[in-house]
Homo-oligomer: A and B are copies of this chain.
Amino acid sequence: MSESPAPKPAPEPAGPAKRRRGAARAAMLDATLRRVRRDGWAATTVEAVCAAAGVSKGAFFHHFPSKEALGVAAAERWSQVTGDLFAQAPYHAPADPLARVLGYVAFRRRLLRGAPPDFTCFVGTVVQEAHAASPALRAACGRSIFGHAATLEADLAEAMAARGVDLPGGAAGLARHTQAVLQGAFILAKAGGGAAAAAESVDHLSRYLRLLFDAPERGGP
């Protein structure tokens, strides 16, 4: 999936202060999410993760067999954190499925504030760097992105059925497209456009959906 606010303003003490047993793993995961979104996957060293999490290198390799395994675990945590965020978001309330879909896009749009590290997607960042070198990481990121897309499918399918809209790729294909627009928006933001450039694209996505569902007779290519 993509994007979210800080996955929790956890205390994260700089030193190995007193912490609940087993908290080290979670601290390393959170540090990984934050660091990678800022610096990228390759530029995030395990020592940097350890320092940010306030643990030693020995602790790191006690919990994770390799940096790659850390990435897979972090991608799964990303899926969970963002999954919760979107599950609890208010856009599910409307009875009209189209309103729920547009509410989702508006919710995403509202998250686009601050600098790229604040709103860009962990798994989107990682998959671009690691897709060739690490099948396991690629798969974990793919599950996150396509899994999140799948959460939109039901609402989209319902809206399409209600308004008689038919598309070549179906609701699933349209759901994937929403994620492509978001991921591309993040790239433009990183290329210098900032949150404004990303928001612009999300606005176009919203407009596309409204055109699509207001004028179902103007179907596919």
Task: Give Cα distance in the complex from A88 to B146, angstroms.
Answer: 36
Is B192's CB under 8 angstroms from A187's CB? no
Query: A176: CB under 8 A from chain B?
Result: yes
Query: A10: CB under 8 A from chain B?
Result: no
Interface size on A, residues (CB 8 A): 59
Is A129's CB under 8 angstroms from B129's CB? yes
Is B43's CB under 8 angstroms from A142's CB? no
Task: Give Cα distance in the complex from A162 to B182, angstroms.
Answer: 30
Taking CB atoms and an 8 Å cut-off, the chain A residues in 121-146 that contact chain B are 123-125, 127-133, 138-139, 141-142, 145-146
Name the residue among A43, A133, A192 with the largest chain B CB count within 10 angstroms. Answer: A192
Name the residue among A40, A127, A183 with the largest chain B CB count within 10 angstroms. Answer: A183
Taking CB atoms and an 8 Å cut-off, the chain A residues in 188-210 that contact chain B are 188, 190-193, 197-198, 200-201, 203-204, 206-208, 210
Besides A117-B132, A169-B204, 12 other A-B contacts (C-beta < 8 A): A145-B187, A146-B191, A168-B200, A169-B200, A174-B204, A180-B181, A180-B184, A180-B188, A180-B197, A181-B184, A184-B185, A207-B220
